[in-house]
Each structure stands twice: as C-alpha cells, then as structure tokens.
Amino acid sequence: MPAPVAETRTGLVRRARRIDRVLAETYPDARSELDFDDPFQLLVVTVLSAQTTDKRVNAVRPTLFAAYPDAPSMAAGDRATLEAIIGPLGFFRAKTESLLKLSAALVEDHGGQVPARLDDLVKLPGVGRKTANVVLGNAFDIPGITVDTHFGRLARRFGWTEETDPVKVEHAVGALFAPKDWTMLSHHVIWHGRRICHSKKPACGACPIARWCPSYGEGPTEPDVAAKLVKTEGRA
C-alpha cells in the first residue's frame, strides 16, 4: 500500500481557507460573546473572562460600568465596592487588583484611553497577546488572531500547525490567511470549538467540516450520537 502523499503548502492553504469558508456559513452570527460598548469595556470584560464564563461576565457588566464607566473612575474606585461587584466571577481579589492596576496604567500612560497598538496593549498590567488581539480586532477593527484554548486545539486538529505555544500558533495560522480575515477567523474557530469540536469528545458526526479534517474520528462519527453533543450556545 503506497504511503499517503504529504500535503503541499498550497494544499494546506486551500484546505484551511475552505474550512474557514464553511465555518463562516455555519456560524453567520459569529462574534465576541462578551458584551461591550467601547474599547475600555471590552478590555475590562476580556480580562474578567479568565477562568469564568462569558455569561457571568455579561451579567455583572451593567453594574460594573454604571459605577466605573471609564478608566479614571475605575482607577480611583473603592476596592471593596469593586470586589463586591465582580465577586460572582471568582478570584475577585486578584481580578480587582488587575483592574485597578490596568486602569491606573491607562490613566498614567495613555490619558485614560485604550491604545490601539499591540505593543502598547501588552505592556498593560494583566494584558497578554490574546487579550490585546481581542481588543484590536473587535474594538478597533485592526486584524488579529485570538489564540485561546479552543483556537489552539482546533488549529492542531485541523493540521494547520503542530505548535503549542500560543504566539507560534498565532504566527503559523496567520500565514495561511489574509490579515483581513484574521479577526473573523478567530470567531469562527472559537465558536466551532465551543459548540461542536469539544476538547474531550468532539461531535465529529455532526461536523460541517469533517471531510477536510485530518482528526475526523476522534469523537463519535454516528450522526445521532454526535448530534447529542452539539451545544447551541458557547460559554453559557
């Protein structure tokens, strides 16, 4: 039996872009599942979303920003009051500390405004490349790839890269797509990871991109079994 033919670089690019096109058709409403009204709100809720659900963050958002609508007010905010508001999210003391330092840095270094440059964002307390790319892509329409746990897992399952370091994944996958597609690509892949391509038991038999996925079969392939694994919402 002949050995399988290795995929060419051109073949990989075409397959990757086909997968994204199908995911775009599957999730036409794909977007950030965190609610926000401006760059400051998006930055804050993204920081708060660590180790909790988007639904919980969205639930405290109105109270949080009614009390602290901007960086200056949050930087001068009362610690106990802030802790009480974000208490339901868990790790509230550490998160309160992060928000106070982050807001203070915005006031001291950027006039209270969220900067629209990656280099500036990642220098802010508690902000890494993932959070920075979320803000750039969704608040400023500046292309960026958001490599969260879902994106990294699916990028490897799709055979787009073997890298495990998020920064290396970002660069490897970014090279397969036009920059203008990076932000929506992130949404498509993350939505798919939350709804169908689960970590422990992907719903392979209900997957719209199964024919282009080299990892097909890691989860149940029977349509009726797989259908029961599909989630209709993301991070509820």
The answer to whether the CB of 75 falls within 8 A of the CB of 98 is: no
Tell whether the torsion through CA atoms of 150, 161, 214 and 143 is positive or negative: positive
The amino acid occupying position 71 is A
Q: Rounded to whole angstroms, how far apart are CA atoms 48 and 51? A: 8
User: Taking the complete model, does pTM exceed 0.85, yes or no?
Assistant: yes
Report DSSP letters for 163-217, one per residue.
--SHHHHHHHHHTTS-GGGHHHHHHHHHHHHHHTS-SSS--GGG-TTGGG-TTTT
Per residue in 211-227, pLDDT (tens digit) is: 999 999 999 999 999 99
The angle that helices 182-195 and 9-26 make with each other, rounded to 10 degrees, is 70
Q: Rounded to whole angstroms, how far apart are CA atoms 222 and 15? A: 24
Per residue in 103-161, pLDDT (tens digit) is: 999 999 999 999 999 999 999 999 999 999 999 999 999 999 999 999 999 999 999 99
Task: Report all structural domains of the chain as residue ranges with CATH numbers, in order of start.
Answer: 9-30+145-227 (1.10.1670.10), 39-139 (1.10.340.30)
The answer to whether the CB of 229 falls within 8 A of the CB of 203 is: yes
Tokens linked to 17: 């872009």
The answer to whether the CB of 147 falls within 8 A of the CB of 170 is: yes
* pLDDT tier at 236, thresholds 50, 70, 90: very low
List, by residue number, the catalytic residues: 130, 148
Which residue in the block uniquely carries the two structure tokens 């009204």?
37
Question: Cα 144 to the chain's mean position, in Å?
Answer: 11
